[in-house]
A = this chain, B = another copy of it.
Amino acid sequence: MDYYPEHWDRSMWEQDAKLMRETGVSLIRVAEFAWSRLEPKEGHYDFGWLDDAIGTFHRHGIQVVIGTPTCTPPNWLVKKCPDVLPRDAQLHPHYPGIRGHRCYNSPSMRHYSARIVEKLALHYKDHPAVIGWQIDNEFSLHECNCDQCNEKFRSWLKARYSSVEAVNAAWGTVVWSGEYSDWSEITTPLGGTRWKNPSFLLDYKRFETDSVVEFQQMQVDILKKHCPHHFVTHNIWSYPMSLDYYKLCKNLDFVSLDYYPSTSPEKDVTSGYSGALTLDLSRGIKRRNFWIMETLSGSPGCWMPVWRAPYPGFIRAVSWQSIARGADTIVHFRWRSAPSGAEQFWHGILDHSNVPGRRFEEYRGLCAEVRRLAPHLEGTQVKGEAVILHSHEQYNAFQAQYQSDGFNYFDNIKAVHRAFTKLGIMTDVLNEHEDLSGYKLIVVPSLFLLDPELAGKLEGYVRNGATLVILPRTGVKTRTNLCWIRPLPGPLAETAGVMVAEYDPIGKETNSIRWNGKTYSCNQWCDILTPQGAEPAAWYEKEFYAGQAAATVHALGSGKVWYIGTFPEEQFYLDFFKQAADELGLFYFPDLPEGVQISIRSKGGKRYLFILNFSRRQQTVRIGQSYRSLLRDGPVAPELDMNPYDVEILELSR
């Protein structure tokens, strides 16, 4: 449970701790955001109240994760050191309002953050209840333009490029007289026009990620120094995201995710699939299990209209979905809705009324189940057979430049992942720099930035037997966001055995392609293909390029490379991946009902099949034979009837 003792009268701590313990809560996260209470005036520390609060929960056997409060510099600090505040492209300060009003590169921010973190570390390093730390809260990029950020950006560039001439070359600044004659001329992206040199913008995003990483590392170092036996993590927000989570999480013990799937009836089914991707992405960051540090306890609100009431079973299903895809701990946000401040309507498990209700009862049941099943699941892991590449860098590059109307890098990943999920194919979603050895099926959706090294690695997997599926807008750019002066898909052209002769950015209009005797609609983009070694495999049906190749397949070594020159409708992906799964011998479910998701956790010989009905309809899942259900503690029929948001966990083997 996320719990904020400072929000409540002291008299409520005891009863809250007691009720939590009875409910089955084993851990709370505290102190995140509490800087003004921990250091009410500069240099005056007051940890007594937190000692008391932690002590109360400790007495009830509840463990504690402490959040460092650096997301919310207090007013005295802002007033004393205005350099704490980020500055936008017109140098306007981002004044305190809710939270996040801090420049990662501000010297004052660094100084005072280090001091409060060290004080906390020294104070709690030996507390028996405290097991670990969360740094700050939901880091993101600010696009700060303060003097310090400008200075550090120049230093960052010096370290990367050594000379101004090298910057000019890497960014191609010669266009429109953007060349720099001296380091001092380089600034962060200031106001006036949203359009800038895309190479510059991409490096600025890299610099910004590195600024966050540095700010976090300062805290990691302090915590690891004083609390060597505590874990250190950070709670990431969701996807898509400009901040590079792969870099951010490198030096953390594990990844934590804040996970809030939509409660909207309209997103009934789709939010479950989006959530599956988010969870697979989170597991993929460090390629191992992770925590949920915040998740849905009631309707979120405040930054948008209050969401619909969670459907009965939804809160439970979301937790089991998280576990199914690799979460080892689930922390719910939050115990009780905030009585004050701008987030009053982001609802907790308890409403403001403090009267336990329907959601609380559902949560209580969940706690009991989890406690019962934990021994079985302890140490189990999730592993995919297919892999989809993902990259914040590609996302950032696409954010800086329009492709076609409706082209959306992340949505295209979603579409591929959703098809895999509907087929029940276990899928990992990994950074493009990861070692992909062992995956039979590799999908690369728009590797816009592509260097020969990565292209070579991908070709290597193919030659060793993998099937590689390439989507459009791949191989367009170098790593510094210059266009390759060579036919598309650039460094992968020979591997794919194909050349993009021309393209038609059809946007939200549709064309259609013919594949395997069926017609599929497509949109966003149409690469018109000239096979150069590959075989044409699908053909356009409309426009002046009707009859020309829309997809090709190229046998290479013991694998093959598909180039799909457009973004087809989902049915294409379903048919295509089914065929690929048959060829490659991947495990899949041919007829999962709409909304039903499966996942497998395993360890040694133990394999547990999670089945979740993420829909508001009764669904029947054909699992072929009878298995033992961990939840029911008994066998279930081969035709499994599932209620809305119902969950099953079946023992495939032990």
Contacts and interface: CB of A to CB of B under 8 A. Distances in A.
Contact of A505 (B85, B190, B305): B305
A299 interface: yes
Given A75-B180, A304-B402, A95 B187 contact: yes
Contacts of A171: 340
Interface residues of A, number: 113
Contacts of A483: 337-340, 344, 352
Q: Max chain B CB contacts within 10 Å: which of A85, A92, A176, A501?
A: A176
Given A74-B177, A99-B176, A184-B79, A197 B341 contact: yes
Contacts of A192: 85, 92-97, 101
Contact of A404 (B92, B185, B305): B305
A311 interface: yes
Nearest to A194: B97
A359 to B, nearest CB: 8
Contact of A76 (B95, B182, B190, B195): B182
A407 B178 contact: no
Contact of A357 (B33, B89, B180, B502): B502
Contacts of A123: none
A185 B79 contact: yes
A502 B351 contact: yes
Interface in A109-135: none
A324 to B, nearest CB: 24
A98 B193 contact: yes
Contact of A503 (B36, B78, B94, B309): B309
Contact of A509 (B73, B265, B353): B265
A544 B311 contact: yes
Contacts of A193: 94, 97-98
Contacts of A6: 174
A306 interface: yes
Contact of A358 (B194, B199, B359, B502): B502
Contact of A172 (B182, B199, B339, B486): B339
Contact of A178 (B36, B299, B345, B406): B36
Given A69-B177, A172-B338, A339-B482, 13 more contacts: A74-B179, A75-B181, A75-B185, A76-B181, A96-B178, A97-B194, A171-B340, A175-B342, A176-B341, A196-B342, A305-B507, A309-B505, A338-B483
The list of the 4 closest CB pairs from A to B, nearest first, reads: A172-B340, A175-B341, A94-B192, A97-B193
12 contacts: A6-B174, A34-B174, A69-B177, A75-B181, A97-B196, A199-B340, A299-B505, A302-B402, A307-B505, A309-B503, A311-B544, A357-B502
